[in-house]
A and B are shown apart, each in its own frame.
Chain A
Amino acid sequence: MMTTDHAPAKPPFWNNPQVRAVAFQAIALIATVSFGLYLFANTQANLQRLGIASGFDFLSSPAGFDIIQSLIPYSATASYGQVFWVALLNTLLVAALGVILATLLGFVIGVARLSKNWLIARLALIYVETFRNIPLLLQIFFWYFAVLRSMPAPRLSYSLGDVVFLNIRGLYLPAPQVEPGFGWAIAAFGIAVFLTLVLVRWARQRQAATGRQFPVVSAALALLLCLPLLTFWLAGSPLHWQLPELQGFNFRGGWVLIPEMASLLLALTIYTAAFIAEIVRAGIQAVSHGQTEASFSLGMNPGKTLRLIILPQALRVIIPPLTNQYLNLTKNSSLAAAIGYPDLVSSFAGTVLNQTGQAIECIAITMAVYLSISLLISLLMNLYNRRAALVER
């Protein structure tokens, strides 16, 4: 064997892996930033050459058009900035309702998929396979153009006791009109919620200490219902209902659920619920069957087993993919533009963009908003996931 008596020469610095790593990252960063700057400068130059206005001043000029659904006061004399808020709230409304409804429906269908009842399990399977395999846009069109278009004209509305009306213009519900004194009922409800929390905590501690159970659910329900109702009655029932009434062309007064929103919400809920159902089924099946058997041998009934043993463990598997579905639902809500629901894409990235001609600003704002909403949902779900995740010791 040959031996060398001199130490190996120090390698040149460009062969040093640490130096290389830093250098490559620096080059990548400089390239990205300069490409971005180039795009920005070139866009500015081109906009100037074509004489297209740029900047965000347009947000304060009057919009001049009306919007069918607005959660905040809006009229045609309001600014483009106000249109942005109206449109954003419409997007958030349909996304939030969609997330809640899709989760509820998805959990029910997912559990039904695993039912021992042959019929229920098959029906759930057919639901999942049908709705997750039809494009969402087609489903929106189906509800909007096929189903809700077959409703009768306003004069021939279906009515429920002359209080609720359903026709091609939407579902009309009575609207509550609050009178002074109603605040007491709300305060009473707040107190009831607080007392319920205290009660739940006390019951849990007592059960841990003594093993004795307390009927928490019925007690909490009684508390949450009776306290506000009693206060409401004592305050002299400070609330009346404004009924929808047929006047001229349309119903006026009351609350209306427009068909554009209804079909979008239906399609988003039904479509996403099919995916959530599969996630829930997979999550439950990921919990080993031994857990169920152990739970049964301890004398727990199937309902309690599902609620206290299976679901908490299944949630660890369910939450991360569930977050993806929430993000998908929120982003898919932008298909609203196809049926004239005034969401962010339709009203802001559509009408405002067109009326002002400031495409880059409107699209940039819209993209930034969707990015922020998605990141926010991710953040919240990650926080929840951290609580549900297996704590390693």
Chain B
Amino acid sequence: MNRAKTLTLTAAMVLLTAAGSAYAGKTLDAIKERGFIKCGVSDGLPGFSYADEKGNYNGIDVDVCRAVAAAVFGDATKVKFTPLTAKERLTALQSGEIDVLSRNTTWTSSRDSAQGLNFTGITYYDGQGFLVNKKLGVKSAKQLDGATVCVQAGTTTELNLSDYFRTNKMKLTPISYDKSDESAKSLEAGRCDVLTSDQSQLYAQRIKLAKPDDYVVLPEVISKEPLGPVVRHGDDEWFDIVKWALFVMVNAEEMGITSKNVEEMKKSANPDIRRLLGVEGDKGKDFGLNNDWMAVVIKQVGNYGEVFDRNVGKGSPLKIERGLNALWTQGGLQYAPPVR
């Protein structure tokens, strides 16, 4: 199963060797010709990317890809989602299987350099935490000496976990699964005492358990996990489009533009808003797209605040506070460069 997927990716890598040079720096052209964007998402994480019973994908990571599709095609539905495990995701992007990876992936120095990837921004400021059964009576992560911990293979959390236990001189027994569902099942069965992951994921995993109230997220946050969309090195035009699809949503929230009022806002006298919505100037064209693409993104997908609330915030079962993900004007870290 997994071996098969790894081999497929390798085969894709080999094919890339034959076909790769054909579209060096031409990702956008290839996408336009194909008619849809290939977007890598997670294999099932409520709030971030999750397929409902009808097979429709929902989540904050999914909406980032929809925003890119709205920017390129003026139609947010022109996306094909590929569910990927943590282990498969980077190879899939490197080999050209997908155009953009939007899968709660942590921005790190080695991924940005040696792995040949570019992070386009930060969709969600996260940190690693621990989920435990209340029955254990553990109040702090410092009490986890000797615990068996379930973790997803090939993630930054796997590395942070080892670092944390080592620096605190605690004994660790890790079990690395490929899929987050397997980790959750193992926690429920008692194969491991603790499940570790990004805090947002822990809340998402918890509502998937049979008895969510029996489990508690420990207060410690042991790492910085800035999660964002990723593209390959070597195509700056495509890098800019993916980067700005997110910036547009953040700027829109800051300016008070929502998917509901975007048409009215086009009549606004504020030059910042007029530029963003493509009423004034030709900032949109500079990206090689329609001049009003930013307005289309806001209309079809919404601003950052709408996307957050609908998927992980107060309008969702997860009910996660904005916290670090509030706008910079409201004490958070979400900040986008100006459209100028």
Query: Could you list which residues of chain A lie within 8 angstroms of chain B, going by C-beta atoms?
Result: 39, 42-43, 45-47, 49-53, 64-68, 75-77, 137, 145, 149, 153, 168-169, 247-250, 252, 259-260, 334-335, 337-340, 342, 345-347, 349-351, 353-357, 359-360, 363
Contacts and interface: CB of A to CB of B under 8 A. Distances in A.
B109 interface: no
A247 B146 CA distance: 8
Given A65-B176, A67-B174, A252-B146, 15 more contacts: A42-B17, A42-B21, A50-B94, A52-B233, A53-B115, A68-B176, A248-B145, A248-B147, A249-B193, A350-B6, A351-B154, A353-B91, A356-B115, A359-B91, A360-B13
Nearest to A44: B17
Interface of B: 1-3, 6-7, 9-10, 13-14, 16-18, 20-21, 24, 86-87, 90-91, 94-95, 110-111, 113-117, 136, 144-148, 153-155, 158-159, 161-163, 165-166, 171-178, 182, 185, 189-191, 193, 232-234
Nearest to A252: B146
Contact of A50 (B174, B182, B232): B232
Nearest to A250: B146
27 contacts: A43-B14, A46-B17, A49-B21, A49-B24, A49-B234, A51-B116, A52-B94, A77-B166, A145-B185, A249-B193, A250-B146, A250-B148, A252-B171, A337-B2, A337-B3, A338-B178, A342-B176, A345-B2, A349-B6, A350-B178, A351-B154, A353-B87, A353-B154, A354-B86, A354-B87, A354-B90, A355-B159
B190 A350 contact: no
Contacts of A250: 146-148, 173, 193
A284 B206 CA distance: 57
B6 A363 contact: yes
A314 to B, nearest CB: 35
A137 B2 CA distance: 11
B25 to A, nearest CB: 9
The 7 tightest CB contacts between A and B, nearest first, are: A354-B154, A357-B115, A52-B116, A76-B162, A53-B114, A51-B233, A50-B116
Given A76-B163, A250-B146, A50 B17 contact: no
Contact of B162 (A64, A169, A334): A64
A39 B14 contact: yes
Nearest to B153: A351
Contacts of B7: 363
B87 A340 contact: no
A263 B260 CA distance: 55
Contact of A39 (B17, B114, B162): B17
A371 to B, nearest CB: 14
Most buried by B among A64, A340, A356: A340
A277 to B, nearest CB: 27
A360 B176 CA distance: 22
Contacts of A359: 9-10, 13, 91, 94-95
A74 to B, nearest CB: 11
A339 B175 CA distance: 9
A357 B115 CA distance: 5
Contacts of A43: 13-14, 17
Contact of A355 (B144, B154, B190): B154
A65 B162 contact: yes
Contacts of B161: 65-66
B177 A340 contact: yes
A66 B13 contact: no
Contacts of A47: 116
Nearest to B136: A249
Nearest to B118: A51
B18 A345 contact: no
Contact of B3 (A42, A46, A51, A334): A334
Given A249-B147, A359-B10, A360-B13, A351 B176 contact: yes
A50 B17 CA distance: 12
A42 B159 contact: no
A149 to B, nearest CB: 5
A260 to B, nearest CB: 7
B218 to A, nearest CB: 14
A149 B147 CA distance: 18
Contact of B158 (A45, A50, A65, A252): A65
Given A248-B146, A340-B182, A168 B3 contact: no
A27 to B, nearest CB: 21
A340 B17 CA distance: 32
B160 to A, nearest CB: 9
A168 B113 CA distance: 42
Contacts of B110: 356-357
Contacts of B94: 50, 52, 357, 359
Contacts of B147: 248-250
Contacts of A75: 166
A70 B178 CA distance: 19
Contacts of B117: 357
Given A49-B234, A68-B174, A340-B182, A149 B14 contact: no
